Structure 1
Amino acid sequence: MIKGLLIFFVGLLVSCYFFSFGFTFLPPSVNTKIILAGIGAPLLFVQLFRAQRVEISRPLFSATGLALVFSLVCYIATDVNRTEDFAYATYYLSFAIWLLAGYTVIMAIRQVHGYINFHILTYYLAAVCLAQCILALWIDSSPGVQSLVDRYIEQGQAFAQEVDRLYGIGASLDNAGVRFSIVLIMLSALFTRDLFQKKPLLLTALLLIVFFAIFILGNIMARTTSIGGVMGLLAMFFSTGLFHRIIRIEFVRFFTVLTILLLVAVLISMYFYAHNELFRGYMRFAFEGFFNYYETGEFRTDSTDKLSMNMWVWPTDTRTWLIGTGLFDGWIFNTDIGYCRFILYCGLIGFSVFAGFFIYHGLSFLSRYRQYKLLFLSLLAFSFVIWFKVSTDIFLIYALFYCVEGVQGALFTSKSTVENENSLLHLGNI
């Protein structure tokens, strides 16, 4: 009972980190990420004091240097253009806050379970994402719950309501879609690397259900989720031997479970689509492109139309191409596209440093964990794909990876045995 409550509490911490939000009764600058970072700072200080030395890993040291260089270039952009828009000129602060907040979360997980690694972190993130999807549906269908959430939680929900989009607590629009995508990619790594060796069939089925639930429900909230879902599916299909001449028996088991679950999901979806108007509306929004292709022969959505027609805004002079305008906040250039906004803010110089920042993360982790190269290549590709849609970044997941290494010594450890995983989910092998 106590262990269950502790796991639930840690899940809340993970959600407050991954889907940070503010409170209506606190200053706008204070959110759950800041609060977690405020807890992480003294925690880290105590640990360093006990160790009697300060040691920063070479990968994290290099990443810190890149974050500082990017912040400096953005500051120069604001100075040259005489603006006071320091959106990314203070990126080093965001970098530090994510690390400190992540440290709090990782230490909490380790205290409850005795260890921390990629597997257990993925389980928590997947559970949190699924909970946010369910919560968003609940808020949308219950005015009383929506009123209660809006009374105490500040997360920019006014805009979500204006454009008639679902939201959870800290999860809405493209930011939610980006986070859902990250977790779908991480789940696909479990399928393609570890679960076949351990053969826990019930655990495999459960995680597949969670994967597709996040994929479908996440698309109802933000169609950006499709990017991570498709990347995860491609990783499964191309790394599990499906297209090989000889297929291992564990892969046959996996695809048997996958086929059965897909068939059941399709039948259930068809039933509710035909008999429930609300569900039909959700599905038509989530998979608008496919419905348009089926009905008109053209794969398109309203959001992609807006992106292609109105939002590709580029600099018009050499100076702006090089160092930008020093402007980012708000709807200053009438575009959401990340490539456009970053280049317009700090030019190709700043954008090159920022791109290098994420290339470094991907290649650095890939070089240390080559057996999981598909995971880190997928995250690296996703870092650049999302900038076609929105100006955000995924350092929040790398911050957790760095913290796991700092606490446990390695992101993937031998302590993740079948018994440990099953004790977490109360499952046995079948």
Structure 2
Amino acid sequence: MVIRLLYDSGTVPKLNPPGYCSKPSPARRLNSSMSVSAALHARLTAPIHDRPLRTRRSEDVHSAVSFIGADPAVVELLKMARRVADTSATVLITGESGTGKELVAQIIREESASRAEPFVAVNCGAIPESLQESEFFGHVRGAFTGAVERKVGKLERADGGTIFLDEISEMSKSLQAALLRTLQSGEYSPVGSSETRFCNVRVIAAANRDLVEMVEAGEFRRDLYYRLNIIRLDVPALRERKSDIPLLCDHFLQTLGAKYGNPGLSLSRRTLDTLLAYDYPGNVRELENALRRAVILCGDRVIEPEHLPADMTSDEARNELIEELGDFQAAKANAVEKFERAYITAVLQRCGGIISRAASYSGLSERNFHEKLKRYEINARSFRAAAAARK
């Protein structure tokens, strides 16, 4: 098992921030761009079985962990994750729910020397406060009513490997104090025991709440926060990296289509536009679940907006992009730019950064493809390096 990272090193593409509005193109250039955009979209939304090149499946590389993205923020995040993997430093991963914080933790583990050792995930928010210490440290027989036998805690199970503490903001104050002791000395005691034990565990924590605000409000220990915040990795929300949506859709259509016996699906232009306009409060998880629903409900080869959840196809969601971008020509030019940038990125990833192959796949001449790379400041070498790292 190993990680599929889309970038390894080198310059990364610079994408415009959300809400960026470029100047309108001259009419002739704009019409030409729209023609190219329509042709590119036809290739992007072609059924998977019609595409000459396919992305490498996770079984072909050394990890099943897959974090899909080519946005500069994602590229930097994955580079940092790999950089800290072989250290023993505690890592704090922050980001909204559904952004993929546990995937980042798994990437750190898989890229480390302890990849063969246990990886134990603990969702602190899913454990009643009264049972948190027992779950984490274990307990001895008779420690409390109902403790009829010894329980091995998560910390002991993770010894020698990595423990991932998700939603650490929901950890009780008493467990926060005990965890601080463990981080400082490696010592802990099972509930109901005076015996001191030692563990060798890499701690990775994640939070979807602002821990600094919780510290100031007295809801989270300040000393524990500083102990956790040695290396901080911020996972961007999906609405902040919408250029990755075509990549994610391609990935989910392949995996979900195979899972539910409905392979070869593609997105209509209206569906892709709808997905690009939506804000995703549930982030990547929400996109995956929306496509899961669509794959199950779609009786044809093409997914239409009616196959998506109703909140994604509401008037507000459909009109959001137009409301942000202003007049028609500016909105049209900006939509073309966003689509072409996302498409070129997706094709380069699919073709391993080989420009001649990517140009042929897209139906563009190599000269035109090079012009688009230059226009959008996309470095094909980064894709080649990532493809080489996956072999």
Q: TM-score, normalised by structure 1?
A: 0.25
Structure with the largest fraction of helix: 1
Relative contact order: is structure 1 or structure 2 higher (C-alpha 8 Å, sep ≥ 6)?
2
Structure with the largest fraction of strand: 2
- Higher alpha-carbon Rg: 2
Q: TM-score, normalised by structure 2?
A: 0.27
